[in-house]
Amino acid sequence: MFHATIAGTGRAVPEKVLTNADLTKMVETSDEWITSRTGIRERRMAGPDDILSDFCVRAAIPALAEAGIEPGDLDTIILATCTPDHPIPGAAPVVQQKLGARRAAAFDLNAACSGWLYGLHVADGLIQSGKAKNILLLGAEFLTRFTDYTDRGTCVLFGDGAGATALKATKSDHGVLSTSIHSDGEGSTFISMPGGGSSFPPNRPESRDKGLYIQMKGGETFKVAIRSMVDVCKEVLAESGFTTADVDWFLPHQANERILTATAERLEIPPERCVNNIARYGNTSAASIPIALDEYAREGRLKRGDLILITAFGGGLTWGAALVRW
């Protein structure tokens, strides 16, 4: 039976770097507080003329080239984002047009920080069912456009960027071995941006009162994120007959270094096997996993045959995990 393999990766991040020192001029905070509580030292910030779909295209071009897929051969484009260019149309068809991927069905997928992981689950299912062979899976966010730079509890966390993964159908031992996704709407207020949708549309005054910014209950999110990611990682390992001792790389969504470390510790995975680039990008939501995959792949750290355990957690609440043979 066919399943998906990651045949190429790419990334594109804005040029502007927003450092912790820059943030101390905007809110009452310090480099010491941000670094010790989150592990973040700097993050990228989209410039006024930057457009998310352009960053997706810039990330996609090297991913498709590495995979040997022409844009015209793509049959599906999935763009995981909660910050598309605009509500209508979705950003994925815009990317499709810019790439010249005329045959591809293209759609956005919003599962907040778990978006790329959800996309991998969907893409692997499409390939397994025979409905697709070549899929472009993107995770991209311009979260700084929806960040309240008077709220020190959230504004230090988020950054912008795009990551691309080119997926191909394969029958080999490489690629996606197992995926699992979960949701719990009971925690829908933990991470939210209430305004801009049909509940608080732009034509209602209350929508303008911070409804268009990301809001977060940091403490509650912190605890449930660790517990959920540990559980779902154990689930995909058990399903495939592996244990954490078999895992070469653990790649968690880059939300907060303390979350990464605590999750890895509970899974008994040592820090040297944990992918960690949060210091330079902050939390880029759905983009964090494909950006990190591309970075570690291009630095030659991921070796063919490595077993990679990937997990994510985000607003919804949503979470999931995947086990991938590189």
Ligand X SMILES: CC(C)(COP(=O)(O)OP(=O)(O)OC[C@H]1O[C@@H](n2cnc3c(N)ncnc32)[C@H](O)[C@@H]1OP(=O)(O)O)[C@@H](O)C(=O)NCCC(=O)NCCS
Residue nearest to ligand X (CB): 218
Stretch that binds ligand X, among 9-17, 33-41, 76-84, 297-305 (CB under 6 A): 33-41
Counting every residue written for the chain, the total comes to: 326
210 touching ligand X, by CB under 6 A:
no
Stretch that binds ligand X, among 31-39, 93-101, 137-145, 164-172 (CB under 6 A): 31-39
Task: State in angstroms the smallest separation of the CB of 151 from ligand X.
Answer: 9
Tokens of 253: 């969504």
Integer Cα distance of 149 and 167 in angstroms: 37
With beta carbons less than 8 A apart as the criterion, state whether 313 and 228 touch. yes
251 touching ligand X, by CB under 6 A:
no
Stretch that binds ligand X, among 6-14, 55-63, 213-221, 273-281 (CB under 6 A): 213-221
321 touching ligand X, by CB under 6 A:
no
- In the complex with ligand X, which residue's Cβ is closer, 200 or 313? 313
Choose which of 2, 16, 17, 29 interacts with ligand X (CB under 6 A).
Answer: 29
Integer Cα distance of 84 and 87 in angstroms: 7
Nearest to 258 by CA among 32, 38, 8: 38
- Looking up tokens 């031992």 gives 173
Nearest to 284 by CA among 292, 273, 296: 292
Could you say which residues in the range 127-156 bind ligand X, by CB under 6 A?
152-153, 156
With a CB cutoff of 8 Å and minimum separation 6, the contacts of 25 are none
Could you say which residues in the range 99-128 bind ligand X, by CB under 6 A?
113
Q: Which of 110, 253, 256, 274 is catalytic?
A: 253
222 touching ligand X, by CB under 6 A:
yes
Nearest to 26 by CA among 3, 45, 7: 45
**Cα dihedral across residues 29, 30, 31, 34: positive or negative:** negative
Is-catalytic flag, 253?
yes
Q: Which of 113, 155, 233, 274 is catalytic?
A: 113
Tokens of 80: 């995981």
37 touching ligand X, by CB under 6 A:
yes
10-39 in b/e form (b: 16+ CB < 10 A) is bbbbbeeebebeebbeeeebeeeebeeebb
Choose which of 5, 38, 53, 178 interacts with ligand X (CB under 6 A).
Answer: 38
- In the complex with ligand X, which residue's Cβ is closer, 5 or 283? 283
Enumerate the active-site residues: 113, 253, 283
Interacting residues with ligand X (CB under 6 A):
29, 33-34, 37-38, 113, 152-153, 156, 191, 216, 218-219, 221-222, 225, 255-256, 259, 283, 313-314
